[in-house]
């Protein structure tokens, strides 16, 4: 696994990882340390030098990949071959363990599939069909065309905030998927 791979999986800058590797920085923040340990398949104690590798163990295991379809447009059902642009290999550590891989797909953000300060054109969205929404989740909803909305569940129903910052009610039937991760590249 290269430094670029680790940076991609952990959402840390390559320069940050170079500094950690060269011991040119103070101890990383706890969340950064945990992300690095998970990406490398080791413990945080090992990264801090508190623990050592067992004799004969390889320091870094092979990255396990899952095959996900990159779709032309979001869908609430299983995609057909006509809706698939290509199949992509995605590191499993980027995927939520509690959601079956067959319920996940990829989209590239363009136009209405942007969300201020969160999702930009060109970003890759990992979306999950048929999953529960919680306050603050990003959902792909069908308005006059597919769009992203940060959602909140209230007694009166499901509400989302759009690009312009306005609060709007969303019918649960209009939810196509929940965005489980946004990444710049795979």
Per-residue pLDDT tens for 44-97? 777 777 765 554 444 444 567 889 999 998 888 889 999 999 999 888 877 888
Q: Which pLDDT does position 53 carry in this prediction?
A: 52
pTM for this predicted structure: 0.66
Q: Do residues 8 and 94 both lie within one domain? A: no
Q: Which pLDDT does position 62 carry in this prediction?
A: 54
Q: Do residues 97 and 159 both lie within one domain? A: yes
Q: Do residues 99 and 146 both lie within one domain? A: yes
**Which of the two residues, 144 and 106, has the higher pLDDT score?**
106
Q: Based on the number of CB atoms within 10 Å of its own CB, is 56 exposed (0-12), middle (13-18) or buried (19 or more)?
A: exposed
Q: How far is CA 67 from CA 125, 164, 181, in A?
A: 15, 35, 16
User: Does 60 map to a domain?
Assistant: no
Q: Do residues 13 and 75 both lie within one domain? A: no
Q: How far is CA 6 from CA 3, 30, 41, 118, 133, in A?
A: 5, 16, 11, 21, 29
Residue-wise pLDDT for 10-49, tens only, equals 788 888 777 777 666 666 778 887 888 777 767 777 777 7
Quick one: pLDDT band at residue 163, thresholds 50, 70, 90?
low
| CA–CA gap between residue 92 and residue 100 (Å, rounded) | 11
CB 74 within 8 A of CB 177: yes
Q: Which pLDDT does position 110 carry in this prediction?
A: 82
Q: What is the CATH number of the domain that holds 169?
A: 2.10.109.10
Structure-token pair, residue 52: 């050592």
Whether the pLDDT of residue 127 is over 80: the answer is yes
User: Where does residue 41 fall: left (phi above 0), alpha (psi -120 to 50 degrees), or beta otherwise?
Assistant: left
The boundaries of the domain holding residue 83 are 65-183
Q: Which pLDDT does position 5 carry in this prediction?
A: 74
Rounded to 10 degrees, what is the CA torsion of 40, 41, 43, 46?
-50
Q: Which residue has the tokens 């991760």?
A: 181
Q: What is the mean pLDDT of residues 107-132?
A: 82
**Mean of all residue pLDDT scores within the chain:** 80
Highest mean pLDDT among 46-55, 113-122, 173-182: 173-182
CB 33 within 8 A of CB 16: no
Q: Which pLDDT does position 56 carry in this prediction?
A: 44
Q: Do residues 111 and 24 both lie within one domain? A: no
């Amino acid at each position: 696994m290269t430094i670029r791979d680790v940076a991609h999986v952990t959402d840390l800058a390559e320069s940050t990882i170079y500094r950690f590797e060269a011991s040119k920085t103070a101890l990383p923040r706890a969340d950064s340390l945990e992300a690095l340990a998970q990406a490398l398949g080791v413990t945080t104690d090992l990264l801090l030098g508190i623990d050592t590798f067992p004799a004969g163990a390889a320091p870094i295991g092979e990255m396990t990949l899952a095959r996900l379809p990159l779709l032309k447009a979001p869908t609430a059902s299983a995609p057909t071959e006509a809706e698939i642009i290509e199949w992509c290999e995605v590191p499993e550590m980027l995927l939520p363990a509690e959601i079956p891989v067959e319920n996940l797909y990829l989209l590239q953000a363009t136009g209405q599939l942007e969300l201020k300060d969160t999702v930009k054109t060109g970003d890759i969205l990992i979306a999950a069909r048929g999953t529960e929404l919680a306050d603050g989740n990003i959902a792909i909803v069908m308005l006059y065309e597919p769009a992203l909305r940060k959602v909140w569940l209230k007694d009166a129903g499901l509400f989302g905030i759009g690009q312009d910052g306005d609060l709007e009610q969303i019918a649960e039937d209009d939810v196509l998927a929940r965005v489980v991760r946004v990444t710049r590249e795979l």
